[in-house]
Every structure is written in C-alpha cells, then in structure tokens.
Homo-oligomer: A and B are copies of this chain.
C-alpha cells in the first residue's frame, strides 16, 4: 500500500520535537506539505495558510494539526470540509463544544478524526491498564510536576485563556488515568493557583472520586525544577501499581515489570494509520471534560506573579 500523504499545520516545538521525526520514521506516512505562520522545511513546500495549502496542486490525504488549541478549530474545519483525515494534537480543542462540532463535521464528511492523546501511547500504559482491569481500586495518587521554563519556553499562548496552563501537561496525566482505571471517576472539587500576571493556572489540586468511592487525588505543578515527576500510583486490594516516568515505567509492589524508552508518537501515528485504513474515528473527550470541570468547579487562588 502506498503511504498516506500527510501535511502538518503549525511548525512549532511539538511539530519539530515529535511529529516530523515520527512521520519521517514511519513507512505508513509521507510528508507532502506544511502550513505555518513562520518557518520552512527542507524537502516539502510550506504555505502561509491552511487555505493556500489546500488550494495548491498537491495531493493530501491527511492533516496533523499541531498549532495552539485557540487557533486550531478553523483550520481543522477547512481540512475536514476538504475531505482530509485530521489528527488533533492534545488538547483536541479550546472548548468541548468545538470538539463536538469537529466530530459532527468529520462524521458528515466520512473522514477520520483522531483526538491524539500522546501519553496514552507511552510504553507501559497498555500493561498498566490490563493489570488494573480485574483489581479493586482503593486509592489513586497522581503527581505531575514539571518545569514550565524547560518544556514551554516562551510559549505565551499556553498562559492565555484556552491555553490550559498547568493542565497542558496535567491533561496528559488525566488521559492516562482515564485509560488505565477500570471505572469512571468524577471531579468533586479542588483548587487552581493562578499567578497574578497570568490568565491560566500554574498549579492545581483535584479531588476526584471513583464510582466505587475510591479517592482519585491529583497534584499538578509547573514550578518543579530538578528531577521531573510524572507518576500515577494506584493502591489496590492486590498490591500497589506505580506507573512512573510519564507512563514509560511500570512497577507492581516495587518490582519493575516494564521500562522502555519513550516512543509515544511512533505508536500514535501507527494508530492514526490504522484508523484511516478502517474508516474509523477516535475522539475521546473525557480528559478535556475533566479539565473543563476543574475550571468550572474548583476554587481559584491567586499566587505570585510568574515570568519565564
């Protein structure tokens, strides 16, 4: 089968760090074009707008949307209306109602829509889910602490409304938790810490609860220097599961079962190719819904100004 001809929109940090290498390393895809506000690529034409790219005389099957969520929707609509399969970087939209609109459009167009939660493709997530399926959950502790200056240098959109702030990494934790925990959990309450000079939170604490009554407690913080922490620990009637290092390492009762190098985007693009081949979509809004719940329900606290 000939490779899927794919274009990228938004040549920012995540495109260069992850999408371009994953596409280059995949026999299932061939990069044929890009659209971006600034930047060029060595081997393919780069356009100043999605519209110009779709109007050009280039055969494109699919488009990966890698721009900030606040400006992604209009580009996604254009691509879907042009009959392209669309991959959405996380979060899949700036609002839940936008994602609903894209879902309806892609269904009407008969195109594949993939809301890509990259952390779900971390190497140990699959086995963590399998192990938890049969267990009774007593308590879940999610700790997601990283240094925003290191991972999002100069990205001002992330501090603007719709940019999610610390939920930009935190939603990765939620995407894993909603994947590996066997039962639904809901947000009860919590707190969000907003720097005095920012429109998005720099830290959050969420009190969630599973359908069996088990606490699902999450702490997100963007002010962590030194070692970074991306851990989910699940206490069960049958021992403790620790999924750490962002989902790449799994230990049961302290014994490491799995530890593999990170290769999320290779697996993610393989899944996108499989969806296209099957004519299916994969749009799970659950992680974004929990984040919207947090903004809706949590108490807001003001904290020190933060500059990067």
Contacts of A189 in B (CB 8 A): 70, 94, 161-162
Interface residue ranges, A against B (CB under 8 Å):
70, 73, 94-98, 100-101, 104-105, 161-162, 184-189, 199, 208, 211, 289-293, 295-300
Q: Are B95 and A186 in contact (CB under 8 A)?
A: yes
The count of identical subunits is 2
Closest to A91 in B: B296
Q: Are A95 and B211 in contact (CB under 8 A)?
A: no
Q: With both chains docked as a complex, state the minimum distance between the C-beta of A121 and any C-beta of chain B, in angstroms.
A: 24
A293 partner, pick from B70, B96, B211, B299, beta carbons under 8 A: B96
Q: With both chains docked as a complex, state the minimum distance between the C-beta of A194 and any C-beta of chain B, in angstroms.
A: 9
Q: Are B211 and A101 in contact (CB under 8 A)?
A: yes
Q: Are B161 and A100 in contact (CB under 8 A)?
A: no
Q: Could you jot down 20 A-B contacts, CB within 8 Å? A: A70-B189, A94-B297, A95-B188, A95-B296, A96-B289, A96-B293, A97-B187, A97-B208, A97-B290, A98-B186, A98-B188, A161-B297, A161-B299, A161-B300, A162-B297, A199-B300, A292-B292, A295-B295, A295-B296, A296-B296
